[in-house]
Amino acid sequence: MSICLKHSRKSQDVSGTVAVVGATGAVGGIVLDEIVKQKLPYGKLKLLASERSAGTIIEVAGQPITVELLEPEAFKGVDLVIASTPDEVAAEFVPWAVERGAVVVDESAFYRMNPDVPLVIPEVNAQAASEHKGIIASPNCSTTQMVVALHPLRNAAGLRQIIVSTYQAVSGAGLAANTETIENTHKVLKGQTGQVSVFQHDIAMNLIPQIGSHKEAGFTSEEVKMVRETHKIFGDDTIAINATCVRVPVLVGHSESIYCETEQPLELDEIKRLFSEADGVTLIDDLDNQEYPMPRPCADKPDVFVGRVRKDLHHECGISFWCVSDNLRKGAATNAVQIGKLLSESVAANLSLPNN
């Protein structure tokens, strides 16, 4: 049976057209790969981008598709939009799509804290997607992996406090950041000075303890995002969260050192069991054999990887662990496509009515 993802039509009015906005970008390309891998159903696939990229031909599942211009009429007849664009682009085009009846899964930060827009991680708060009014936001990459990892602990024992330090890959700042990192690393090895344009300082063989702009109380915008988005996803703003976000010279894969305090104590074996059984989490934790998550081995994989799991020696409810995830996959494209698939499965279930 065909399905309809439109928020403003009756379920029998179907077309099954999916549009990917920002299809020629780094994350957009991974969105297309995830659409194929996750088998997101569609009758027609449209690729939309700026005037500079319109006319480009991209092959998806063996079929060449010509990229169309991102303009209001491009969304006519579109059911689902998955978008990977800067905030200012999302602010302009998302209303075009919603006005024409499409549901937009937006990866930008522009709509995330809008009270009318659900902020969704399917493994954590899938039910929130049903509350959409045409827009569903996908969270920040660093927030996503942390929340996926904490979710099973919170379900089992509550959650009182989170202290997180992130070690974020340069690809989170775009393709130009990868290029700058590689080129400057070669220069540093030769005793030369690299050119700095993407970051505040040269990231080659260096760490930069600032991601985003300066916000209140000395925190950066990235750190504030982790606090506010986590509160919204969990639906609980009483959780005490302190984040420190650091850019590291890794190309792909964010790492996080997470300490949390649960409401009730959990034994170490139970903590590991919860991680090993959690949806979207892979536990790699064997210190004797030097087995734990690292960015390079975890790249191009959809899961959130957890290791170095420990109980606090001085607090019975304290838990420390290490968390790694591909920031371009689960942190962006994978999560967005999972939301799209969640919508399609939900509509298909609602349409599965007994024959009269």
CA distances for 43 relative to 1, 168, 200, angstroms: 11, 37, 45
Residue 165 to residue 223: CA distance in whole angstroms: 9
CA 313 distance to own-chain centroid: 33
Banded pLDDT at 1 (limits 50, 70, 90): very low
pLDDT at residue 252 above 80?
yes
Are 319 and 307 in contact by the 8 Å Cβ rule? The answer is no
What average pLDDT does range 153-169 have in this prediction? Answer: 98
| Token output for 137 | 């936001």
Q: What strand order describes the sheet that includes 240-247?
A: 240-247, 161-168, 254-261, 318-325, 304-311, 281-283
pTM, 2 dp: 0.92
Q: What is the DSSP letter of 262?
A: -
> What is the CB neighbour count within 10 angstroms for residue 348?
14
Domains in the chain and their CATH numbers?
Answer: 17-110+332-351 (3.40.50.720), 143-325 (3.30.360.10)
pLDDT at site 349: 58
pLDDT at site 11: 38
Residue 206 to residue 194: CA distance in whole angstroms: 12
pLDDT at residue 9 above 60?
no
pLDDT at residue 353 above 80?
no
Are 143 and 230 in contact by the 8 Å Cβ rule? The answer is yes
Banded pLDDT at 350 (limits 50, 70, 90): low
One DSSP character per residue, 45-78 reads EEEEE-TTTTT-EEEETTEEEEPEE-SGGGGTT-
**Window from 137-146, 171-180, 338-347 with minimum mean pLDDT:** 338-347
Banded pLDDT at 348 (limits 50, 70, 90): low
Encode pLDDT of 69-111 as tens digits: 999 999 999 999 999 999 999 999 999 999 999 999 999 999 9
What average pLDDT does range 146-151 have in this prediction? Answer: 98
Residue 140 to residue 118: CA distance in whole angstroms: 13
Banded pLDDT at 183 (limits 50, 70, 90): very high
Residue 200 to residue 265: CA distance in whole angstroms: 42
pLDDT at residue 351 above 80?
no
Catalytic sites, residue numbers? 141, 254
H/E element, 80 = strand 80-83
